[in-house]
Structure 1
């Protein structure tokens, strides 16, 4: 299978088996031949949305490696289709595949705004930063129509509550009006995820994300508006983007980023199977090399769940990446620092307006 034969606009090229299902499914050659003879599509690759109404929306994060205490995800599944995405495995809990289903079947939490407001008004709740997109992108394409993330930001502003954001989409610029107001009281941090400066690499790694040009412009525009913005180069994938560390840090620093973070790719659960299938089809000349290097970073396995090493890896490659970021920060970001998020205002606004007495 050549790159030209790929399912256009998708990262995963297959649906992996769901470990929670009693039955497995496969697309047989005789079925594909029948569909071809009849002029029918074997699989519908269109995106569908499924409405859900959870009872809670703010999640406590217990992992010591993630760098956040609470997260909020208005969507489950992500049309961006990043092939390496760690969130793919979570789609299996909903009865879907971590492969194509993750990109095509998007669960929409319709009551997100109401649940957040209930949480922020709770007498027991004490303000702590809540991060949008700890799992899936809150600005994925469906947000343009549904505007759930915009409603969440309006709620954070109403109750003067600190919020962090992570996104690959320039759609965040739509909400600049709210972000400016939040920033005036130190109530928002934004992280733009930029994995590469090469558009060709971006298209195969992250097929439905904003272009690199738009993401760099987003960093620049947020910075110009005095909205604290940093960049996440996540993940670093050996022999694909690790050579871009220095030029990428230099570029985002020139655009006004206050800091740069990174993780090293890990392929837990079904992601190992999906990524292996993808790279052998998209980069057959270096597939084995990349997979072997990833395994070498994680103790000989693509799957790494060890706290303390799973996000940064170990060994010579991991150390080289660490040192490159250390040098890059010293060269381009030495005098920059993100302002701390303000957790003190919220108590005065628990009922949605400032207290008079």
Structure 2
């Protein structure tokens, strides 16, 4: 059963939906056109309830099955990225400087496809809560939706999500029990020195040299303060300073990312960053301030639900195209907030060879959308079967 037959019949509609969404990418929570398109499709599909305006532009739609039972949550994110699209497609973004470069247009389409099938067939007990979420890329829309009470309001008992995966076999799945994606933190360092003439550095306290020293010292956190077999990434990603070749500036700014799985490791990194920044600033005669921001927590799959989702994936894709214990990745995902509140699992759906995520030439593979929709549909039917059904 590679693809549910009924979903295959409206695959062309799904392609049209996805390509329209691709033309209108919006950012963070400010996604009114995207939300309006989703709501219009849901009304056509015939959902039983639709709740709009959650986390500003998020939507939760309910489809009732046959008979009593729990509520299973299915989530799709729908925000884009501030990237100038370079695909040259005839359905490329019409919103300048914005692009669906992470496949959220495809995620939304897969959930809409599952919704259409489930609303037609209702071959399940209980209810399905379709969660359409803004601000995954920036802002933590999942956290906001959780804080606004969706898990309790809609009595969601378990929750699942999918992300596309360029470079993995098209239509295949992979996941893992336990931690699957890292927590992400951000650090900012403001360095204040004394500027002056580039030919007279002895009269200055140079923030450029201090920034270089701090950047090098930060690398010792992973290599000297952390057990080598545990996962940790600390990357300096920005240094901004100076305006011209013969002026030593007054100020430098540094920025970077931290990826961890263990809160104790997070604490260690924040402490060591503070010590390094203070020590290096003193050694160079400048002042420096560290701002450390905790971001999305680690995404942790529940073992039971991950195994169940794997079984469904095998039914859809075939055993040879499903990896059940793929290990964890250092990327981050705000679906973590939903998994903190309810058991569930997060999976990746291969889309074959393509440009990578967040690349200006990336484009979601429309051929795999029916696979993802079929996975969601069968996940519901197998999680909440009708009496006597398989």
Using the size of structure 2 for normalisation, the TM-score is 0.23
Q: Determine which structure has the larger strand proportion and give its number.
A: 2
When Rg is computed on C-alpha atoms for both structures, the one with the higher figure is 2
Larger relative contact order (Cα-Cα within 8 Å, sequence gap ≥ 6): 2
